[in-house]
Amino acid sequence: MNNPATIIEPHRNQTGGTISALRALVLANGYIRDVDQKTVAELFNISQAEVRGIVSFYADLRTDPPANKIIQVCQAEACQASGCRSLTATLENRLNIAMGESTPDNEFALENVYCLGHCANGPAAMIAGAIYTNLSSADVDALMTGKPDTAPTEIVETNNRLIFNRCGRVDPLDFDAYRAEGGFPAAPISAESVLSEIRNSGLRGRGGAGFPAHVKWQTVADQLDNQKYIVCNADEGDSGTFADRLIMEGDPFLLIEGMAIAARAVGASKGFIYLRSEYPKAARILTEALQIAQREGALNESFDIALFIGAGAYICGEETSLLESLEGKRGIVRAKPPLPAIEGLFGKPTLVHNVITLCSVPWIINNGGEAYRRFGVGHSTGTMPFQLSGNVQRGGLIELPFGMPLGEFLDTYGRGTRSGRPIKAVQIGGPLGAYLSREHLDTPLTYEAMAAIGAGIGHGGIVVFDDTVDLIEQAKYAFAFCEHESCGKCTPCRIGSVRGRELMEDIQKNGCTKEKLILVKDLCEVMEKTSLCQMGGMTPIPVVSAIRHFPDDFGLEQ
């Protein structure tokens, strides 16, 4: 076993270096030993207790010697919709272990993972950083002997691809080609002009909240501080979403340029990309793209970007949890106020944005905010890369202006279910999104229209389920996912998620009654209104929508 100090040393002066060092130790030795933890504490000058806290928070930072082959099977909604449950059951039978266990000879282990970003080609699994897609029970033997087979995710060639127009058409790492198409102009426009264009564009955050971008930019720009940061949230953890992954793999300079423009507008000198560890290919491509950008002078002393890889925690997609993690600590959600725009990374004014939001910026600056506003409807301006997956014939990424009705979208691009059975439910907006029934198919894909029916666009993920779906199971999964990913800080989420899951299990086993539903409703109200963040706050949305839109599944009389 190697000396931990040599593995840790390169990370000592990195932002978030504790987590990066611990990940490096897992990569080198397979797991983290006591001596590794003590060495991390010593070299970073933090306590052993703090190291233990960090290690125990992140799923990637394992402390037991791993099996030779760990098969990580995605258990999230899109893969559920395409059949991961039966795949998992077959694997469990074949290996004679339950999910989460290792075989006695430590040859194989089964672990669950939540979203590898290959939702359009699910069920998906990962073994040692290699992704396997379109799996079925028939592939179990091949999985065990490991024949890589990653099907590419289709990017549909729609018109008006303001973000994805270069993907598939160019070599992602060809900087000259990027510059030739207008990227990184020699004389960029002033910071005030940038702010003005962003305001005119009506751009809203594409991560899920849909908050007006220019408000955040102006707040950061107005802060009087010598040190400001820009952070790109690339922890695309929502099941059914892969737009961030595709753009980072397909056109990384677009993201880098978007960040550079935003940094100049708000006065940030340093940027970070927080990338989930479940996207190894994106990590490789981004690393190289950043090096090229530095070499070409697009990144320099006035603005540079560092890549940070997460360690397996969905909650780190929440902006304050992300900042805690980027600071090298447990990903605990912070209370707001203060807003990150005022006191963010290391207490400094920080602009936090999703990948797609930042990737929308270069087009806006090159073509003007007014032009951007002409796409879309009402306050839903511009385009959105919708991501279609689940039980569909043809999943993939479809960049469209806002406004198309959901049903038309499914017919045009999904072309019916993969199973041939009728569509029963559509979950839109990720694991914290509502389950819509056939009644809602005429709803336009805009922020406003979705809000009106108690749903949301979120990050643009749309997952299709056929009529074999059981909404009690899905409601239970909503609670179970929250239980798994809760940071644990606030009581409504930490304990509420468990109670919700238990309630759903009881309903499954012993049937649904009015009293049980009242308790579920009360629990949902508590979680929605009192949770510290949207992890607990939005978990009731899929639950309530399942009960409201699919009462038959719950055995309720109408």
Smallest gap from residue 430 Cβ to another protein (A): 19
Among 82, 417, 486, 539, indicate the residue that binds another protein (CB under 8 A): 486
Q: Is residue 83 left, alpha or beta, with left meaning phi > 0 and alpha meaning psi from -120 to 50?
A: left
Residues 133-192 that bind another protein (CB under 8 A): none
**339 binds another protein, rule: CB under 8 A:** no
**If 0-12 CB within 10 Å is exposed, 13-18 middle and 19+ buried, where does residue 56 land?**
exposed
The values of phi and psi at residue 270, to 5°, are -145, 140
Q: Among the candidate windows 143-151, 234-242, 425-433, 495-503, which touches another protein by CB under 8 A?
A: 495-503
The single residue among 483, 541, 542, 550 that binds another protein, judged by CB under 8 A, is: 483
Piece of the chain touching another protein by CB under 8 A; list 41-49, 63-71, 108-116, 216-224: 41-49
Nearer to another protein, 336 or 374 (CB): 336
Peptide bond into 123 cis (omega under 30): yes
For another protein, the binding residues in 193-222 under the rule CB under 8 A are none
Closest to 434 (Cα-Cα) out of 540, 554, 555, 530: 540
**Closest separation in Å from C-beta 170 to another protein:** 41
Residue among 171, 288, 370, 522 that touches another protein (CB under 8 A): 522
The position carrying tokens 């643009």 is: 460
Q: Which of residues 523-542 bind another protein (CB under 8 A)?
A: 523, 525-526, 529-532
Closest CA to 258 of 333, 199, 183: 183
238 DSSP 8-state letter: S
Q: In terms of C-beta density within 10 A (0-12 exposed, 13-18 middle, 19 or more buried), how is residue 506 classed?
A: middle
* 96 near another protein (CB under 8 A): no
Asked if residues 123 and 117 have their Cβ atoms less than 8 Å apart, the reply is: no
- 255 lies in the binding site for another protein (CB under 8 A): no
Q: Which listed residue (5, 89, 215, 335) binds another protein by CB under 8 A?
A: 335
Find the binder of another protein among 46, 127, 173, 441 (CB under 8 A).
46
Rule CB under 8 A: say whether 62 interacts with another protein.
no
Beta bridge partner(s), residue 390? 464
Dist CA 388 CA 436 (whole Å) = 15
Q: CA 149, 463, 231, 5: dihedral to nearest 10 degrees?
A: -40
Name the CA dihedral angle for 367, 295, 282, 386, rounded to a multiple of 10 degrees: 0
**By CB under 8 A, which span of 293-301, 344-352, 422-430, 489-497 interacts with another protein?**
489-497
Cα separation, 384 vs 377, whole angstroms:
12
Q: How many positions of this chain bind another protein (CB under 8 A)?
A: 47
Q: Which residues sit at the interface with another protein, rule CB under 8 A?
A: 37, 41, 45-53, 56-57, 313, 315, 330-331, 335-337, 483-492, 494-499, 502-503, 519, 522-523, 525-526, 529-532
